[in-house]
Amino acid sequence: MYRDHTRQVKIGDRVIGGGSPVLIQSMTNTRTEDVEATAAQILRLEEAGCDIIRSTVPNMEAAKAIGEIKKRIHIPLVADIHFDYKMAIAAMENGADKIRINPGNIGSKENVAAVVSVAKERNIPIRVGVNSGSLERQLVEKYGGVTAEGIVESALDKVKMIEDLDYTNLVISIKSSDVLMCIKAHEILAEKTDYPLHVGITEAGTLWSGNIKSSIGLGIILYEGIGDTIRVSLTGDPVEEVRSARLLLRTLGLRKGGIEVVSCPTCGRTKIDLIGLANQVEAMVADIPLDGIKVAVMGCAVNGPGEAREADIGIAGGVGEGLLIKKGEIIRKVPEEDLLSVLRDELLHWEA
């Protein structure tokens, strides 16, 4: 596993790299300078399981808000900077736990040096981020277009720029909305560096397409042992990003946590509103602080009980009612309208 051999980088009180658990990140979509709204969103993200949060810092007001936001939250805050190196410095002076910059777009070497000097003074990690969309012209020409090789070379050039300033407290991210290019770029990069990698598929799309693209892209990259921290990018509520990231990591066996819901696809035998019920169950379990429990929501008494027995608790639908199955045993019949509340009650009083 590449991730077992990456360098460890400390972000606030969290550690990424060197075989640490893969951490989940997301990004606020409030105006960062609106302290109330930004802190409220971060608290919702924390509750959903976010480990590290990033907020854009496009102006001095936003940089100054960092200190206030940090007083109200419990996870490390990363400042996302584009173009203005002074914002990177201000963000660090106001308590950012990490900054994310593309050294290629914050101006001269002197600007990069000024940022690195403050980072070094305060031992603040820098995430060097490169996107396929902003690949330098000479690399596009060298590789005959935007390619995985070009993205990697661009990222390593930026890393070298910072290493030459005698600073190595770094994380690298390379992003592309082209899933296959993104996978290839990570494979190449992981061979060439031992800095921890922040992995994501950029501009992945809406909840539906973003989840599919991220599952394929991140799923393959993570399965290959690459990636120390991830963000699932979705056009939607960032809480959904965190939920998707958790499910992705849990499915790959990389993180534990939360209740897993399995449900059958329904067929002509289904005689209850199983689709509605499965969605309600999934939403209901999100708030229950149990780990490693599997809940089965099955549509009928033919195959349902068998599948539900494999889970810790489950229901198998009948006509206007369902069987409640717990640890392999049929416990009782429950009217359809009570299935959700009975299941919730069982989980709230769960004894391992």
Which residues form the interface with ligand SF4 (CB under 6 A)?
264-267, 269-270, 298-300, 302-304
Give whichever of 116 and 277 is closer to ligand SF4, judged by the CB atom.
Answer: 277
Give 168 or 303: the residue with its C-beta nearer to ligand SF4.
303
**Residue 313 Cβ, how far from ligand SF4 at the closest point, in Å?**
16
Tokens read off for 2:
């590449």
Least Å distance, CB 240 to ligand SF4, is 27
Nearer to ligand SF4, 205 or 318 (CB): 318
Compute the distance between CA of residue 257 and CA of residue 238 in angstroms, rounded to an integer. 19
CA dist., res. 155 & res. 90, Å (int): 24
Minimum Å gap between C-beta 284 and ligand SF4 is 20
Q: Is the dihedral of CA 155, 95, 235, 3 positive or negative?
A: positive
Q: Which is nearer to ligand SF4, 103 or 304 (CB)?
A: 304
Question: CB under 8 Å to 184, separation ≥6 — which residues?
Answer: 148
Comparison of 210 and 304: residue with beta carbon closer to ligand SF4: 304
Helix (H, G, I), strand (E, B) or coil at 262: strand
Phi-psi category of 108—alpha, beta or left, where left has phi over 0 and alpha has psi -120 to 50? Answer: beta
Q: How far is the CB of 272 from ligand SF4 (least distance, A)?
A: 9
Q: Are 145 and 151 in contact (CB under 8 A)?
A: no
Using Cβ positions, the residue closest to ligand SF4 within the complex turns out to be: 299
For residue 163, give the nearest of 199, 198, 202, 120 by alpha carbon.
120
Minimal distance, residue 276 CB to ligand SF4, in Å: 14
